[in-house]
Structure 1
Amino acid sequence: MIGQVSDSELELMKIIWAEDGKALYAQIMDALAETGNHWQKNTVITLLSRLVEKGLLKTNKIGRRNEYTAIVTEADYQATQAKALLDKLYEGDAKGLVSTLIQREMLTATDYEELKKFWEGGNGNR
């Protein structure tokens, strides 16, 4: 079972997923800086350690540097979290979620058409 992560941990996971699932500490720090996040070294190391403990990452020593590798894919994490949200808020009723998205105009007509094509086995973009 894939557990939840904090927003900060998720931000680090997204960086690693964007690097094809592997990133050195320096790459992670560079990516954070590009987004305007200037976290302290100890903060990042603590968050990465937590992700290792939670089973989402593993480390590999390359000389004196650590390479962090995602054990869980982004798609698997998204699917697990979507299922948890669906179960928690809608008691597993996907129609209730979709209804909310439509009623609150969070799902556009274009989104709907793409989903319809996907559902029918066409060539939807998502």
Structure 2
Amino acid sequence: MRAANFDDNPRDGSVKSTVIRGGRMIDESDAAAIDVRMIALPGMIREVAAAHGELAFLKMDIEGAELDLLEHMQAEGLFDLIRLTVAETHEKKFRDLRPRFAALRAAVGAAHPVTRVNLDWI
């Protein structure tokens, strides 16, 4: 889904694109939706780590979709396969998800130093 103002300003509007509903100023109508190919990042992380020992760096900025993924990565121990993960979280855009973001931050902060997993990279 794209920003509600995408047609008026495609360049600036493209940075708000997301695959989850409930974001501020997002056009969730079927007419505005576009299909995108997605891959399963956890599987890719495991494959690369198996082939190379670890991933050196993972940068994540996926407009709210990071919450489910980061929770899964924490639960499955995937941060241990990555030397440094940085993520921009979007709790300000998704008010209803703020309690889950807070719980994730607490769990990640207790398990990993900010030099390993940084949820405030921007």
Common fold, TM-score beyond 0.5? no
More helix by share: 1
- Per the normalisation by structure 2, the TM-score is 0.24
Larger Rg: 1
Per the normalisation by structure 1, the TM-score is: 0.24
